[in-house]
Homo-oligomer: A and B are copies of this chain.
Amino acid sequence: MIDLPLTAQTRIRREAHHQVTDRAALYDVIDGALSGTIAIVRDDRPVALPIGIGRDGDDLLIHGSTGSDFFRRIAAGAPVCVTVTHLLGLKYARSLFDSSMRYRCAVVHGVASVVPADEKEAALLTLSEHLMPGRGLEVRPMTTRELAATMVLRIPLATASVKDNAGSMVEEDDDGEDRAVWAGTLPLRMSVGEPVTSPQTRGGTPVPPSVQRAAARVTASGTA
């Protein structure tokens, strides 16, 4: 894979040594995430909302209602910035100044393209496999009406940056501070609870493989 290009938009300016240009690192951040934040410019001001994400090869996939003003603006070509962050820990240095958070973050800039009608169902299934692997086989197919009500958008993973400071989870610089003050990291990770069965589900219906699979994935990666 070709490395992520460094441009005026993607070159990280602060703590530049934590920038990762390996494209696989970008895909890892996205594939380990269920959601991110998508920002657009509306009336000269930024608006950023949470969004579920998926990936299809070199494209980021998102979806929304065809009735959404926010999505319509994106579909019409409003530039977007999608930010995906995995918070990995709190780093306790020996000063507040050097204390910080440990995270991996991807920032994707681009303009989305609308997935055409004849590719929409496949794209939605790809997105569904990202968010709830295996679930598509457990439920009925999508209806024509549901497909018509849903907009699917691709954002090329061409202009993107990844920052990863997790390498310094343990080792800090020799900062010349008092070694009797504890320094270290409190790791943070995403975890799952026990699946909660809807009261309307027929009694005795087991928790399906898709839910077990999603739970195992979060448990293994510590991210979501």
Residues of chain A having any CB pair with chain B under 8 Å: 9, 13-14, 34-35, 37, 39-41, 44-50, 52, 64-65, 67-70, 79-83, 85, 87, 89-90, 92-97, 99-101, 103, 105, 107, 109, 124, 128, 131-132, 135-136, 138-140, 142-143, 146, 149-150, 169-172, 174, 177-202, 205-208, 210-211, 214-215, 218, 224
Contact = CB atoms under 8 A, between A and B. Distances in A.
Contact of A198 (B69, B183, B193): B183
A87 to B, nearest CB: 6
Q: Report the copy number of this chain in the oligomer.
A: 2
Contact of A46 (B40, B69, B169, B210): B40
Given A85-B35, A139-B95, A142-B96, A196 B184 contact: yes
Nearest to A149: B97
Contacts of A218: 188
